Amino acid sequence: MDRREMLKTVGASVIGAYGLAMLGQPQTAIGADAAAGTPDLFKGGEYALPPLPYAYDALEPAIDKETLTLHHDKHHAGYVKALNGTLAKLAAAREKGDFESIKALGRDAAFNGSGHILHSIYWTNLAPKAGGEPKGDLAKAIAADLGSVARFKEELTAATVSVEASGWGILAYEPVAKVLRVMQAEKHQNLTQWGVVPLLVLDVWEHAYYLKYQNRRADYVKAIWDVVNWDNVAARLEQARKLAI
Ligand code: MN3
CATH number for the domain harbouring residue 217: 3.55.40.20
81 and 112 co-located in one domain = yes
State the alpha helices, DSSP H only, in 19-148. 32-35, 65-70, 77-96, 102-125, 136-146
58 found inside a domain: no
Task: Specify the pLDDT at position 9.
Answer: 39
List the one residue out of 134, 116, 155, 120 whose CA is nearest residue 229: 134
Give the whole-angstrom CA distance, residue 49 versus residue 184. 24
207 and 112 co-located in one domain = no
Distance (Å) from CA 189 to ligand 1 centroid: 13
> Would you say 207 and 71 are in contact if contact means Cβ atoms under 8 Å apart?
yes
Distance (Å) from CA 75 to ligand 1 centroid: 6
Task: Specify the pLDDT at position 40.
Answer: 83
Distance (Å) from CA 119 to ligand 1 centroid: 6
Task: Specify the pLDDT at position 117.
Answer: 95
**Total domains present in the chain:** 2
Q: Any bridge partners for residue 179, and if so which? A: 174
Give the whole-angstrom CA distance, residue 234 versus residue 137. 7
> Can you tell me whether residue 186 is helix, strand or coil?
strand
120 and 17 co-located in one domain = yes
Query: Containing domain of residue 42, as a range?
Result: 3-48+64-125
Q: What is the CATH number of the domain that holds 96?
A: 1.10.287.990
Distance (Å) from CA 144 to ligand 1 centroid: 30
pLDDT in tens, the chain (245 residues): 444 444 343 333 333 333 333 444 443 333 333 333 345 899 889 999 999 999 999 999 999 999 999 999 999 999 999 999 999 999 999 999 999 999 999 999 999 999 999 999 999 999 999 999 999 999 999 999 999 999 999 999 999 999 999 999 999 999 999 999 999 999 999 999 999 999 999 999 999 999 999 999 999 999 999 999 999 999 999 999 999 88
Distance (Å) from CA 185 to ligand 1 centroid: 12
Distance (Å) from CA 99 to ligand 1 centroid: 31
Give the whole-angstrom CA distance, residue 184 versus residue 171. 9
What does pTM read for this prediction? 0.85
CA dihedral (20, 204, 191, 10) positive or negative = positive
Exposure string of 20-53, with b = 16+ CB inside 10 Å and e = fewer, is eebbbbbebebeeebbeeebbbbeebbbbbbebb
94 and 120 co-located in one domain = yes
Distance (Å) from CA 85 to ligand 1 centroid: 19
Distance (Å) from CA 203 to ligand 1 centroid: 6
Distance (Å) from CA 208 to ligand 1 centroid: 5
Look at phi and psi of residue 243 and say left if phi exceeds 0, alpha if psi is from -120 to 50, else beta: beta
Distance (Å) from CA 136 to ligand 1 centroid: 30
